[in-house]
Structure 1
Amino acid sequence: MKLICAGMTDVGSTRDHNEDDFYLSDGKEALCVVADGMGGHRSGEVASAMAIKAMVEYYRETMSDEASAPDPPVGEDGEEVDLIEYRLREAVLSANTAVFTAASESEMYQGMGTTIVLGYFTNDGAYFANIGDSRAYRFRDGKLEQRTEDHSLANEYVRMGILAAEDIEYFPYKNVITRACGLADEVEVDVHFEEMQVDDIFLFCSDGLSDMIRDGQIEQLFKEEDDLEKLCRRLIDVANENGGEDNITVILAKVTE
């Protein structure tokens, strides 16, 4: 199977600078990353760029590991660890270290951090990792489904039964995240694998998209446009039409034969 990708970022309708960043594979690794930075003095854009740089460098420095490793790594419980999943988690942790160290050593960068959502694609399927509320979706057979779980106060309240999912958009603290890259010296990373099919399209986005467009409307836009570049542009345009209250970043990855 092959992968066709497109990506785009936009400052939005109300912000004066863009703290989002993204990365699309240039052929060395089938990797897609979206990072949504946060922090004063424009340090959010530093955090997102720094996180992506650290992850990409880690991947390139360890590319030979999968081929050269004589045995699969073993976890603390003695179970064999999926090497790709291990590298994915370590890449994100390297980003956390880079951002946290920079924030700790500079008053200007104090408190900066970033969300991360990424996909790594193989012939067997797709691996996803995330911290924060940037999301991954899958569009398959006309249906759009969120494939990552938000690390947000709103989502925690939904899980606890305090808040109904349909009321999240009215929740005053819906943008409060419970986990981010770079805010502490350690962070928990969600990683999972799933099989993929030809014609699957994966969407990776910052909350500047998902807060402005309901999932049903995103699904309808997928049905109306086949060209990935045009679909990226259309998603961003609609998010801006709906208010554009934040930076908007979109990556689309389509599986082909």
Structure 2
Amino acid sequence: MRAFASGMTDVGLQRDHNEDSYAVLQEFDLFIVADGMGGHRAGDVASRLATDSITEFFRSTANDDATWPIHFDANLTEDENRLLSGIMVANRRIFERSIRSRECAGMGTTVVSAVFSRRRNRLYVGHVGDSRAYRVRGGTIQQLTRDHSLINDYLMAMPDLTEEQRAELPRNVITRALGMQDSVAVDLMSDEPHLGDVYILCSDGLSGMLTDEQIRDIVQTSQDTSEMCRRLIAKANELGGEDNITVLAIRFLQDDVEIGDEPTLQVPLHRIAATVGDDNDH
């Protein structure tokens, strides 16, 4: 199979600048979304450092004799090691910039990144923070990542919290991000893509505005990955656009389809009409 991807970012309706970044490195089947934070517009510096550092690491380690600045974990595949190491290198660069520059002090960023191994037919996902990865397969959507957030940490430690107690917890506090310390814990997972699967990487400007079902319906009734991104962002803005919105859609197709020639999905007209009707109800 081959991975086709499109990405898009938007400032939203309530922010005056965009602190999100994304990258598609098609030659390495590498895909990244980062959501920055920090004063003096340093959030966009952090997110751009994250995407640039990871892509540069993949390019610099393409040769067999490349030097890796991070310990190689023999329990992980080479693809997992590259993804993990790239994120850790990004963390170090952001942290070092934040302690050198007063304007960048305290900056950080979330990141969700995926790399596809054609040889193993595995999609490896690494993430830090609350940017998410979803998989849409058939009529179902599944969140593949777990938010590193205060509310999730509470629920893991105290799963019997009442609805009232949960409602009192702050929902937008993340407990892990790149650049906060000189080292970072990265969550890694892997998935086996099937023909026709779509994976969505996004910042919380999307996941905080749309339900999983709304994301699934838009993915299923879009013609291609570019339309998926455009419609998902439009829907988030329609519902308030409270944050920057970044979406990266990855679709798996037959290997004989050339990059740049992504075929359109044959979406029945009644499904498109039903989705448009649903959108207008919100």
Find the counterpart in structure 2 of residue 100 from structure 1.
95
Following TM superposition, by how much is the alpha carbon of 1:195 offset from its aligned partner in structure 2, in angstroms? 1.1
Identity %: 43
- Which of structures 1 and 2 has the bigger CA Rg? 2
Find the counterpart in structure 2 of residue 13 from structure 1.
13
Superposition RMSD in Å = 2.1
Find the counterpart in structure 2 of residue 241 from structure 1.
238
Q: Give the aligned residue type for 1:58.
A: F
CA contact (8 A) 2:218 2:228 kept: yes
Distance change (3 Å), C-alpha of 1:81 and 1:125? closer
CA contact (8 A) 1:37 1:112 kept: yes
Following TM superposition, by how much is the alpha carbon of 1:28 offset from its aligned partner in structure 2, in angstroms? 2.6
Following TM superposition, by how much is the alpha carbon of 1:167 offset from its aligned partner in structure 2, in angstroms? 9.1
User: What is the CA deviation profile of residues 3-51 of structure 1, one whole-angstrom value per residue up to 9, with x for unaligned ones?
Assistant: 11111000000000000000012x3311000000000000000000011
User: What is the CA deviation profile of residues 119-156 of structure 1, one whole-angstrom value per residue up to 9, with x for unaligned ones?
Assistant: 10111110000000000000001111001111001111
TM-score by length of 2: 0.83
CA contact (8 A) 1:154 1:171 kept: no
Find the counterpart in structure 2 of residue 130 from structure 1.
127
TM-score by length of 1: 0.91
Inter-partner Cα distance in structure 2 for 1:98 and 1:121: 25
Q: Give the aligned residue type for 1:85.
A: E
Following TM superposition, by how much is the alpha carbon of 1:104 offset from its aligned partner in structure 2, in angstroms? 0.5
* SS of the residue 2:62 aligns to: coil
- Give 1:1-257 correspondences, 5 Å limit: 1-25=1-25, 27-65=26-64, 75=73, 80-123=75-118, 124-160=121-157, 161=159, 163=161, 173-257=170-254
Inter-partner Cα distance in structure 2 for 1:52 and 1:167: 37
CA contact (8 A) 1:158 1:165 kept: no
Distance change (3 Å), C-alpha of 1:98 and 1:162? farther
Following TM superposition, by how much is the alpha carbon of 1:162 offset from its aligned partner in structure 2, in angstroms? 5.2
Where do 4+ consecutive residues of structure 1 move more than 4 Å? Answer: 162-168
Following TM superposition, by how much is the alpha carbon of 1:215 offset from its aligned partner in structure 2, in angstroms? 0.8
What 5-or-longer segments of structure 1 have no aligned partner? none
* SS of the residue 2:28 aligns to: coil
What 5-or-longer segments of structure 2 have no aligned partner? 255-282
User: What is the CA deviation profile of residues 187-223 of structure 1, one whole-angstrom value per residue up to 9, with x for unaligned ones?
Assistant: 0001122211110100000000000011111112122
Following TM superposition, by how much is the alpha carbon of 1:164 offset from its aligned partner in structure 2, in angstroms? 6.6
* SS of the residue 1:28 aligns to: helix
Inter-partner Cα distance in structure 2 for 1:164 and 1:95: 38
Following TM superposition, by how much is the alpha carbon of 1:95 offset from its aligned partner in structure 2, in angstroms? 0.2
CA contact (8 A) 2:72 2:81 kept: no
Inter-partner Cα distance in structure 1 for 2:233 and 2:184: 30
Inter-partner Cα distance in structure 2 for 1:213 and 1:179: 23
Following TM superposition, by how much is the alpha carbon of 1:226 offset from its aligned partner in structure 2, in angstroms? 3.0
CA contact (8 A) 1:111 1:183 kept: yes
Distance change (3 Å), C-alpha of 1:38 and 1:146? same
Following TM superposition, by how much is the alpha carbon of 1:83 offset from its aligned partner in structure 2, in angstroms? 1.5
Inter-partner Cα distance in structure 1 for 2:19 and 2:43: 5
- Would you say how many aligned residue pairs link Structure 1 and Structure 2? 248
User: What is the CA deviation profile of residues 90-110 of structure 1, one whole-angstrom value per residue up to 9, with x for unaligned ones?
Assistant: 100000000000001111100
Shifted more, 219-228 versus 186-195: the winner is: 219-228
Following TM superposition, by how much is the alpha carbon of 1:166 offset from its aligned partner in structure 2, in angstroms? 11
Inter-partner Cα distance in structure 1 for 2:163 and 2:230: 28
